Structure 1
Amino acid sequence: MFSIDYKVTISDINYGGHMGNERALLLFQQARIDLFKKLGLEEINIGDGIGTIQKDAHVYYKGEVYLGDSLRIIIKKLEMKKATINFIYSVEKKCGKIVLEGSTTIVSFDYKNKKVSKFPEKFLKNLENIFK
């Protein structure tokens, strides 16, 4: 498990007075960015000149989020497969109420040659160590 804290700002709020639906994917991405940063990496460079690209995403809305809410974005687990990694997320308010759940699937991508590639072994091992 890996988590980060997030404070809802005015740019997260839509005309309905609550967090816009598109923000969920940004919260998920921020958690991934911070996880990679913890490993000394970036989404654009996870080792061996390889980056990541998002292949798929799912969001399940469980409750409303408002300006000023304190959230915890949790990467609950990873499902590592041969060519993809599926990140499973949960977002909860400070009180523990889950407001979002979802997943994103990433593949490794060689941006120089513009093609899907293998995940670097060191990257996979570092992720496995965090999610044991």
Structure 2
Amino acid sequence: MPRIKIDLPEKFIFSTDIPIYIGHINYGHHLDNAQMISLISEARVRFFKSLGYSELDVEGVGIIVADVAAQYRSEAFHGETMVVEMAADDFNKYGCDLVWRMADKATGREVARGKHGIIFFDYTARKAASVPAAFIEKVQAK
């Protein structure tokens, strides 16, 4: 099976610091892969909040994570603080990719990179919705 390769954007429009707690660590004494996805989910919530949105209200529609891809680059350990950077990329009619990078704040060591494919969703009608134009404008203006 070919390995996943994630290309990063030229610039990230959002950054947040997230500490690694003991509950994020697995029996190998490093960041658990499932916990890493949870940390990226926290960063995604913060990303939308920084734009004035919630995941349930982006110009009147919500989002759904359709797919996730990650490429691990190094270990992360208890007590480290991760910097998670994020940008929106590869737009289509119903969604886009949220591309991210996670790195150790103290050293800059890249821990992981990846992307979450999201679609916009009308929770009242229970169907996919077009990407709100105002969302595209906000993320491209940064």
**When the two structures are superposed, what TM-score results if normalisation uses the length of structure 1?**
0.90
Letter in structure 2 aligned against 1:127 = V
Residues 45-71 of structure 1: CA deviation (Å, up to 9, x unaligned): 1112x1000011101111111110111
Question: Among 56, 69, 80, which residue is 2:80 paired with?
Answer: 69
Q: Please name the residue that 1:88 is paired with.
A: 99
Q: Please name the residue that 1:103 is paired with.
A: 115
Distance 2:67 2:24 in 1: 22
Count matched residues: 129
Cα deviation for residue 27 of structure 1 reads 2.3
After superposition, the Cα gap between the structure-2 partners of 1:73 and 1:125, relative to the gap in structure 1 and judged at 3 Å, is same
Runs of 4 or more off by more than 6 Å in structure 1?
none
> Does the aligned pair in 1 maintain the 2:94–2:120 contact within 8 Å?
yes
Distance 2:36 2:69 in 1: 10
Indicate the SS of the match to 2:90. strand
Q: Please name the residue that 1:51 is paired with.
A: 62
Aligned-residue sequence identity (percent) comes to 28
Letter in structure 2 aligned against 1:37 = K
Distance 1:123 1:62 in 2: 31
1:1-132 to 2 correspondences below 5 Å: 1=12, 2-48=14-60, 50-76=61-87, 78-94=89-105, 95-130=107-142
> Does the aligned pair in 2 maintain the 1:92–1:98 contact within 8 Å?
yes
Indicate the SS of the match to 1:63. coil
Distance 2:65 2:86 in 1: 16
Distance 2:72 2:103 in 1: 11
**When the two structures are superposed, what TM-score results if normalisation uses the length of structure 2?**
0.84
Letter in structure 2 aligned against 1:86 = D
Letter in structure 1 aligned against 2:122 = D
- Alignment RMSD: 1.4
Distance 2:90 2:23 in 1: 32
